[in-house]
Amino acid sequence: MIASPSTFQFDVDQIRSRFPALTITDNGAARVYLDNPGGTQMPQPALDRIHYYLTHQYANSGGVFRTSLETDQMLHDSRRAMADFLNAPSEDEIIFGPNMTSLTFTLSNVLKYWIHPNDEIIVTRLDHDANISPWLHLAEDVGARIRWIDFNPPDCRLNIDELEAILTDKTRLIAIGLASNSVGTINPVHKIASLARAYDVLIYVDAVQYAPHAPIDVQTLGVDFLTCSPYKFFGPHQGVLWGRYDLLDRLPAYKVRPAQEQPPHKFETGTQSHEGRAGTLGALEYLAWVGTQFGDKFRNQFPDFQERTLKLHAGMAAIQSYEQTLSKHLINGLKNIPGTTIWGITDTHRLDERVPTVTFTMNGHNPRVIAERMAKQNIFIWDGHYYAVETAERLGLDRSGGMVRVGMAHYNTIQELDRLLECLHRLQTKE
Ligand SMILES: Cc1ncc(COP(=O)(O)O)c(C=O)c1O
């Protein structure tokens, strides 16, 4: 899947020059943004789109005058770009909303018509709670049963054998993450979809933590719904839900009467964040630019795609390849710090099974204290469970402050990682 790094040049300085936030210093210290799983920084094209929309086109949708017509065009363009990003067959399969969590609750609510008493819903202990709680509520509301898939510590891979054991004629829905926000594992969703094909099961995929790191093709994944959040892939605070058109068409929507009856509009209640949509369009234009600049070596992986879809996917493949060099450097560096346990895949030959989100604990140091010490050096990292409460509990870390999470993006550098590793090393050896 991944082209050999020796044949591939990724100019991270050129990438960084497009992100104004990366040039900011505080008291002379550059900021090191390693909080990316919580939200990424925005490139200039996304900021420009928002600014232009707010200054030149700001209006409500559906009018006959210039600003409203331009608003409708922009809303259409952002939906089309999002469809290209996911290789969705139609932009009418793309629903925008405030965030992934709200969209998932919207869908879990309407799936009450699909799931009946004694049906079963499968969830995993590796997921963010936004892909668990909506299904727990749904199960409680309709009298369905929740079945769990566990994972294997410490490498934190899902136990797929368990899925095979619990998948039955009663199963109606599998809710699964494409990548863990906590330990970075990429789940074999395509394989799960193949296993589930023999049953009358819907598959709902949380791709929030996968979307910033690799190309997504909803047509080859073989699933029914997929969600992601543009603010995790260089856009503003927004959520996106893709669903198969025939399903979206059949499902009821809680909507006001004058709103359109067809998907996606029937699920987009009220006035959208138009400036958010403009920013998402700008973020996707930026990612297509990444494809133009650095994606040449990857284009042949996507032979049948139309030009912008091709650019977006080649760009994401280039990002994935570069980020694997970052993961390798960080994992090897952490392995050299005494008393450090990395939770998740640490075999650097298996980097295509993880995203560059690396989580660890250090003997004798509470995760919050480590994050605070790094914050003093202007290095931004997270501590805690990050709403992956089941994962933290399963690892036995929920009562001890969780874990430290270093989440990289394609604008991070080896030098930034070295700065982090040096600070961690000093902390542990008390130099
Ligand atoms: C894997 C995963 N799923 C879902 C969410 C929730 O996304 P949102 O903030 O868009 O509701 C997050 C947020 O961090 C996440 O990491």
- Shared-domain flag, residues 421 and 408: yes
Q: What does the pLDDT read at residue 3?
A: 44
Q: Is ligand 1 within 6 A of the CB of residue 279?
A: no
Q: Which atom of ligand 1 is nearest to the CA of 130?
A: 4
Domain at 423, CATH number = 3.90.1150.10
Residue nearest atom 16 of ligand 1, based on CA coordinates: 181
Q: Is the per-residue pLDDT at 53 higher than 70?
A: yes
Average pLDDT over residues 180-190: 98
Domain at 143, CATH number = 3.40.640.10
Q: Is the per-residue pLDDT at 297 higher than 90?
A: yes
Query: For residue 316, how far is its CA from the centre of ligand 1 (angstroms)?
Result: 20
Q: What does the pLDDT read at residue 318?
A: 98
For residue 8, name the pLDDT band (cuts at 50, 70, 90): confident
Residue 297 falls inside a structural domain:
no
What's the domain count of the chain? 2
Among residues of the chain, what percentage have pLDDT more than 90? 95
- Shared-domain flag, residues 27 and 78: no
Residue nearest atom 9 of ligand 1, based on CA coordinates: 99
Residue 302 falls inside a structural domain:
no
- Shared-domain flag, residues 15 and 51: no
Q: Is ligand 1 within 6 A of the CB of residue 291?
A: no
- Shared-domain flag, residues 78 and 99: yes
Give the Cα separation of 194 and 223 in Å (integer). Answer: 9
Average pLDDT over residues 253-279: 96
Q: Is ligand 1 within 6 A of the CB of residue 405?
A: no
- Shared-domain flag, residues 229 and 343: no
Q: What does the pLDDT read at residue 22?
A: 98
- Shared-domain flag, residues 9 and 130: no
Residue 303 falls inside a structural domain:
no
Q: Is ligand 1 within 6 A of the CB of residue 106?
A: no
Q: Is the per-residue pLDDT at 351 higher than 90?
A: yes
Q: Is the per-residue pLDDT at 184 higher than 70?
A: yes
Residue 411 falls inside a structural domain:
yes
Domain boundary pick from 236, 268, 284:
284
User: 331 lies in which domain range?
Assistant: 5-42+323-429
Q: What does the pLDDT read at residue 431?
A: 60
* Long-range residue pairs from 156-162, CB within 8 A, at least 24 positions apart, any chain: 156/126, 156/180, 156/183, 156/184, 156/185, 156/343, 156/344, 156/345, 156/391, 156/395, 157/185, 157/345, 157/353, 158/124, 158/126, 158/185, 158/187, 158/188, 160/188, 160/191, 160/192, 160/195
- Shared-domain flag, residues 34 and 177: no
Q: Is ligand 1 within 6 A of the CB of residue 127?
A: no
The pLDDT tens digits of the residues spanning 360-392 come to: 999 999 999 999 999 999 999 999 999 999 999
Domain boundary pick from 284, 315, 334:
284
For residue 5, name the pLDDT band (cuts at 50, 70, 90): very low
Q: Is the per-residue pLDDT at 9 higher than 90?
A: no
Q: What does the pLDDT read at residue 158?
A: 96
